[in-house]
Structure 1
Amino acid sequence: MFNSDRLKLARERRGLTKRILAESVGLSVRALSNYENKLDYDPKQETVASLAEALNFPVEFFYGESVDTPTIETASFRSMYSLQANKKHKVFAAGALAFALSELLDKLYTLPTEDLPDFAGEEPEDAAQSLRVYWGLGDKPISNMMHLLEAKGVRIFSLMEDSKRVSAYSQWHNETPYIFLNNNKSAEHSRFTLAHELGHLVLHRELLSDDIDLRTIEREADAFASAFLMPRSDVYARAKNILSRTQIIKIKKRWGVSAVGLAVRLHKLGLLTDWHYQRLMVNMSKAGDRTKEPDGLPMEISLLFRKIFASMSEERVTRQELAEKLHVYPEEIDSLVFGLSNVLLVEETPKLSAKRAHLRLVK
């Protein structure tokens, strides 16, 4: 049976208004609205085929079950209230498809389970230190943020969006923490963003939209990320008498953070005076450090998806077969998994095993 929810999901994933889609397939806006609002449950086959072609989804997609979609009320999302509606809907629709993919992978593999305590009400600095103690990290630098979070049961999906305003968002769904990361930033920015969203997941899990002071929770998540990546005691031990941009660029790799991010942390901890901090910010801005990271790190790559697709490849599962199970085209899955399915999955005759594989991730 035709699913109106799927039509709306597909349209929003492509960032199209009802008018634009209706005109592209020769429908009236009213007719399209009737399909989406369940006032007409039986569009003609040729109409569905036209919609499928215009939206770049297989026809079968529109006959699948409804899937949950992130909303502005459930997701922590930087600048979510000021983002244009079509871009907001587009990234939330990506989240819905990620939920569906995650549910499928849960049926095929035993994936790491959630291990995130609830630190609601704690000061961000204290929560960051408490989480490090809980995970047994001590004060050592975190070599790979993505691998660490995946090992703790956080599902991380990519957002291949062209909007620079969409860095990431996160939410809990069916007791599982999710982070959706726009991977068009520097490695240092992505690491900080992952830590920022981790802060939302452990500090703001129960917040409702009516309770949210956006500026406050964003400051809290930033403070958590800074403290989590750059523990106070380690910074005090390693970064005394750091006063110049050159010194900061040299030592920032220890914590895998940006030069600007380290300068902010040093100032916060009292290791830079206001005068030295302001001077550094001016020098960094002139050098372009806010837009292009000096001496940058390589991007972190999902270990979870690498293991999943390596296992599928051994079983001769193709990109096409995986995509068909979700009733999407392979490119749609590529956009959610950092392009790794395109790189790692085979293109031979599929054979999907019913066996559940156990995947173990080491942080």
Structure 2
Amino acid sequence: MTFSPSRLRAARARREMTIKSLSERVGLTARTISSYENGHAESPPEETVKKIASALSYPFSFFFGDEIEEVHVETVSFRSMKKMRARQRDAAIASAQIALLFNNWLEENFELPPHNLPDIRGEDPEAAAMIIREHWQLGVQSIRNMVHLLEAQGIRVFSLFENNKEVDAFSFWHGSTPFVFLNLMKSGERGRFDAAHELGHLLLHKHGAPQGPEAEREADRFASAFLMPESSIRSRSSPFPSLRQIIVMKSSWLVSAAALTRRLKDLGLITEWHYRTLNVEMSKKGFLRHEPEGIEREKSALLNNVLKQLWNKGVTQEQISRELNIPIDDFESLVFSASAGGKRNINVTPKPSLSLIK
């Protein structure tokens, strides 16, 4: 077995641990750990790897084998970079590297749908939202489940069960495959907007370019237009709506009261003064922190069906994690299982249909 420096880097980043803190835990110098991570030293002795594995709560076997695929930060579109510390960002990217291991395993064992995303870079966000709706034959009706829609169009969607809300969501292209990661600590409405926001990045900012505040505003505009098409909003809106009317209306598009209010303002259906008044009222009632009449968090249909088929063949999540040489908790955090309190119950979902290759 060959020791893998990139696997050590990924495991340490996943645990949000610095080189110094890891070196202190295993009784080595920071320089020694750095040399192992950069491949500038001979492979560490077996006893040293055991200490590192114990300190990082990763299986000993994880640190051996092929180098783990890199996910470069400049190619990743994060939902909110300004609230995130570098250590949190690196932990999220490390979870994406673990997801790539699992995705490779999935593609070896299942026929997964290819992506169905046209190249519309450079389009105006509002126009891009209508182009992709037409491309996917969605019309202007409400989208009932964003996660299921993305999966059906060949986007790999994984959960990101971080212990913080700073890492909202992120996306990237890996070769010809688009990936989206969603934080499960958000409300159902916020999760849907995050998913649409990341779809905007995948379409408008392929391979992470450009990045920055303007790119985030474009992705927000895309998400708003994609979830709430202008013609649909105009046909159902009423003049000078009250907050109660907003709450009733939002159920048509499964978005937050704040997102719908902003969309009404952007389309000129309410005045700036009315928009501010509604936001003040929502703030006083706590609706900006806790969504009124909220919806359930969306989960993966594709991963659910994969795990159901494997369960029927006697293959458990623990067995998959052992085959991938990753901790079961890290595996569960990717497949939406952790949101159910770690339970590994699997509900049957009809779409998308999958077939085992072997």
TM-score (norm 2): 0.93
Greater shift, 241-250 or 87-96, is seen at: 241-250
**In the aligned structure 2, how far is the partner of 1:263 from the partner of 1:246?**
12
Is the Cα contact below 8 Å between 1:252 and 1:258 reproduced in 2?
yes
Q: Tell me how far 1:139 sits from its aligned partner.
A: 0.6
Distance 1:106 1:151, change over 3 A: same
Once the two structures are aligned, what percentage of the paired residues are identical?
Answer: 42
**In the aligned structure 1, how far is the partner of 2:159 from the partner of 2:123?**
29
The equivalent of 2:16 in structure 1 is: 15
SS of aligned partner of 2:264: helix
Distance 1:274 1:207, change over 3 A: same
Q: Tell me how far 1:63 sits from its aligned partner.
A: 0.4
The equivalent of 2:273 in structure 1 is: 275
TM-score (norm 1): 0.92
Match of 1:310 among 308, 311, 324: 308
**In the aligned structure 1, how far is the partner of 2:23 from the partner of 2:260?**
50
Q: Tell me how far 1:79 sits from its aligned partner.
A: 3.5
SS of aligned partner of 1:22: helix
Is the Cα contact below 8 Å between 2:77 and 2:208 reproduced in 1?
no
Q: Tell me how far 1:162 sits from its aligned partner.
A: 1.7
Greater shift, 141-150 or 61-70, is seen at: 61-70
SS of aligned partner of 1:138: coil
**In the aligned structure 2, how far is the partner of 1:69 from the partner of 1:168?**
19
Query: 1:147-186 alignment to 2 at 5 Å?
Result: 147-186=148-187
2:183 counterpart letter in structure 1: N
Distance 1:87 1:40, change over 3 A: same
SS of aligned partner of 1:172: strand
Long gaps (5+) in structure 2: 347-353
Long gaps (5+) in structure 1: 346-354, 359-363
| CA deviation vs aligned residue, 1:4-38 (integer Å, no higher than 9, x gap) | 11111111110000111111111111211121121
Greater shift, 31-40 or 152-161, is seen at: 31-40
The equivalent of 1:227 in structure 2 is: 225
Greater shift, 56-65 or 34-43, is seen at: 34-43
**In the aligned structure 2, how far is the partner of 1:24 from the partner of 1:230?**
51
Distance 1:112 1:242, change over 3 A: farther
Q: Tell me how far 1:207 sits from its aligned partner.
A: 5.0
The equivalent of 1:31 in structure 2 is: 32
**In the aligned structure 2, how far is the partner of 1:59 from the partner of 1:207?**
34
Is the Cα contact below 8 Å between 1:2 and 1:42 reproduced in 2?
yes
Query: 1:325-336 alignment to 2 at 5 Å?
Result: 325-336=323-334
The equivalent of 2:69 in structure 1 is: 68
**In the aligned structure 2, how far is the partner of 1:240 from the partner of 1:143?**
23
**In the aligned structure 1, how far is the partner of 2:189 from the partner of 2:318?**
34
Give yes or no for the alignment of 1:300 onto 2:301. no
Is the Cα contact below 8 Å between 1:4 and 1:41 reproduced in 2?
no
What's the RMSD between the two structures over aligned residues?
1.6
**In the aligned structure 1, how far is the partner of 2:86 from the partner of 2:207?**
25
SS of aligned partner of 2:238: coil
1:93 counterpart letter in structure 2: A
The equivalent of 1:112 in structure 2 is: 113
**In the aligned structure 2, how far is the partner of 1:182 from the partner of 1:93?**
15
**In the aligned structure 2, how far is the partner of 1:23 from the partner of 1:276?**
57
Match of 1:246 among 240, 244, 247: 244
Is the Cα contact below 8 Å between 1:242 and 1:248 reproduced in 2?
no
